[in-house]
Structure 1
């Protein structure tokens, strides 16, 4: 009986910043799903109980890590501005029913599998309904289906009238109420805490509301203290400069989306005594706002308010990304998959976007989507690079992504925790892909 894999004759991109792929290599993956040995094919004797797979001419690299996703939607365009009355009806009479919850979980599972088959072997889910992300994580751990390594946040933590409230968030309006909500999420088994420090584009009713400050520094600090005492990281949705400042002073571990920085903010990113590891990282999500900001309303079907908020948030977020690169701030990569025009299979577009808009090259964005993301999420001892002893979270491509990042759009094999998917299958949405291609053709 075959109990391990020998991936023969491949070119290896390790994810650690090495400029060139090692050629004609063999990777041994043991029955525990760990990388057991990495050697030149000519120097290695493969144990007889390993299944040999010839990857001559193929490229192998660490599986992608998407540090910012939601699983409740798949990236198809949806209306971002609807009435509170309609939202209330849809939540209570459709979503929050036994049938609605089953449908939701089925959709979330489908989206997680889509991401995996596109090369995302680890994903951090940063806000879902009813702790269905926690349930999916447990089913993956129990081998009920082959899914990605999943880090879960459960509900947002927000304030009355804040981003995500009341349907996608636990609401608290004081430091002690905020602490209670951390404890509720922890009781339900989350891996991290996600908070909303400012408003967001998806539920803003007027221009400028997307970045409006909503949480106080005291509330943020209470959340961080409560989470950090048990070793849990805090991710903060922030879309304005003042929001970033409040979040950093409160001690968050990651800024999601981000905004333009000043000297104080730059310093706090790099040295944050209240953060769990002494620094705060930036997780931008440029693709989430770019189509709505840049395409004609006749194509996106969003309102003028959504378009202008998207433009304001995108421009400020891009400025922060460029500042992070310039000042050596630790920066990972997320996509905000589930938002309109952000599918679970197109992480390569975010990497391509960063290369187009900054001085980063393919080697650097690949490292950020693998090794750096693993470090930021606290899982670099398990994954993020191809190293002996780490999980066999690997992807295989016909072409070299160091030469053309779009090679990541066509994954020929995926391995997660040593489980091999020989023929990954992704159902793509042509209407969304065509629109995203149009964005860049107009640049």
Structure 2
């Protein structure tokens, strides 16, 4: 796709690599193909006459954010799954799984993807949607039907009978061969990665402790990873217990989503996993997804006592894993679990802030995690994640310096994705969610 060519002048550049620091009064040239052509001082370069010059007047430029764990089917408003099985089945079959229902769903997903983009998220990994609507949305964006974020999509979860997400959000298999078949079904539908549920989850657990209960076997996980890896697809594993992490790692998954407290064997497997696609497994915690339900009174969150206690157990163990990952040099990225209650598509900065408050990381460290590190983990580092010559022009412009205050990311002045400029991004916020989250601290 040919775009306009731009020269961004007088900008303070954050490259996405924490060791490069801040480069002041820089110019970035973006060519007609949407790629970064040159970065340097204006007096050292010749700006072609047809380039549109945008004077940033000392604003801050950095790579677009990468959210490694999102769902697009919801927007972060509180919801509950407390309806009876019969009600859920009726809603699924007679409302959602209809032409009208799917049309409404994909419009909502498009709106949520654009909300994230206007908030500075230029790349998203969607890890579980209904009916391959995420595949359709990605294909619309890639066909230039509209300007959207770079999307990596997983389609349906892979789960087991009675497992997390089953049967409505997941393909169900109860043996290695059934699991392998489900990988093939997802691949046939055009997914970019495979998402599996190794343990139970908070949202659909019926009792305390079910969120981390082991559901898949090592043999099932191994079969899934073998089938995916042979065609170069990564496997992301929903896991919320220590034993679940062990099973997932032994099976060869590429990312652990959420995570749990580690022991020595698990630490070693994260760092050196011969069955993973790239020889190691990364951790993608989702702290902000569990924290409100775990910490606030149920009169505020409206969740059940079971959800609150499961959230508390998961959050406590997940936070321990974050500290262990930092201590032992385990690769760790950033995902928010956007769509879950109280996790919107426009507040990724809150997840970064959480790392800083609860794990002692610096602004430079969390910015690198949300850009360069996430790109490496997701396998898209060849074209995005840092501001470098030859990479796609995925960037955001900020009024204030996020290296001084991470909340600067909550107000984005400009967004560019693949060279397409959004000069005045606009985000519709959810006041009741923002107010609640602001009260947590």
TM-score tier after normalising by the smaller chain length: over 0.9
In the other structure, the counterpart of 1:347 is 348
In the other structure, the counterpart of 1:273 is 274
| Distance across 1 between alignment mates of 2:209 and 2:41 | 56
Gaps of 5+ in 1: none
| Distance across 1 between alignment mates of 2:325 and 2:388 | 28
In the other structure, the counterpart of 2:177 is 176
| Distance across 2 between alignment mates of 1:90 and 1:41 | 59
Asked if the contact 2:135–2:153 (Cα under 8 Å) also holds between the matched residues in 1, the reply is yes
| Distance across 2 between alignment mates of 1:320 and 1:103 | 38
| Distance across 1 between alignment mates of 2:399 and 2:87 | 47
Displacement of 1:383: 0.4
In the other structure, the counterpart of 2:55 is 54
Tell me the SS of whatever aligns to 1:201.
coil
Q: Give the aligned CA root-mean-square deviation in angstroms.
A: 1.0
In the other structure, the counterpart of 1:3 is 4
Asked if the contact 1:71–1:108 (Cα under 8 Å) also holds between the matched residues in 2, the reply is yes
In the other structure, the counterpart of 2:214 is 213
In the other structure, the counterpart of 1:261 is 262
In the other structure, the counterpart of 2:29 is 28
| Distance across 2 between alignment mates of 1:185 and 1:91 | 20
In the other structure, the counterpart of 1:103 is 104
Asked if the contact 1:2–1:50 (Cα under 8 Å) also holds between the matched residues in 2, the reply is no
| Distance across 2 between alignment mates of 1:93 and 1:354 | 42
Asked if the contact 2:141–2:147 (Cα under 8 Å) also holds between the matched residues in 1, the reply is yes
Residue deviations 1:303-349 (CA, integer Å, cap 9, x gap): 00000000000000000001000100000000000000000000000
Displacement of 1:82: 2.6
Gaps of 5+ in 2: none
In the other structure, the counterpart of 1:427 is 428
Aligned pairs, number: 440
| Distance across 2 between alignment mates of 1:330 and 1:2 | 35
Tell me the SS of whatever aligns to 1:74.
coil
| Distance across 2 between alignment mates of 1:377 and 1:271 | 17
Residue deviations 1:171-220 (CA, integer Å, cap 9, x gap): 00000000000000000000000000000001000000000000000000
Tell me the SS of whatever aligns to 2:323.
helix
Tell me the SS of whatever aligns to 2:95.
helix
User: Relative to structure 1, is the Cα distance of residues 313 and 54 closer, same or farther in structure 2, using a 3 angstrom cutoff?
Assistant: same
In the other structure, the counterpart of 2:148 is 147
Displacement of 1:20: 2.9
In the other structure, the counterpart of 1:413 is 414
| Distance across 2 between alignment mates of 1:18 and 1:266 | 26
Asked if the contact 1:81–1:202 (Cα under 8 Å) also holds between the matched residues in 2, the reply is no
Displacement of 1:79: 1.1
| Distance across 2 between alignment mates of 1:176 and 1:19 | 48
User: Relative to structure 1, is the Cα distance of residues 205 and 339 closer, same or farther in structure 2, using a 3 angstrom cutoff?
Assistant: same
Displacement of 1:41: 2.0
Residue deviations 1:49-87 (CA, integer Å, cap 9, x gap): 100001011000000000000000000001143321121
Displacement of 1:19: 5.6
Tell me the SS of whatever aligns to 1:380.
coil
Residue deviations 1:127-151 (CA, integer Å, cap 9, x gap): 0001010001110011101100000
| Distance across 2 between alignment mates of 1:277 and 1:217 | 19
Displacement of 1:90: 1.1
TM-score, normalized by length of structure 1?
Answer: 0.98
Tell me the SS of whatever aligns to 2:19.
coil
Asked if the contact 2:16–2:385 (Cα under 8 Å) also holds between the matched residues in 1, the reply is yes
User: Relative to structure 1, is the Cα distance of residues 40 and 291 closer, same or farther in structure 2, using a 3 angstrom cutoff?
Assistant: same
TM-score, normalized by length of structure 2?
Answer: 0.99
Tell me the SS of whatever aligns to 2:77.
coil
Is the aligned partner of 1:16 residue 2:17? Answer: yes
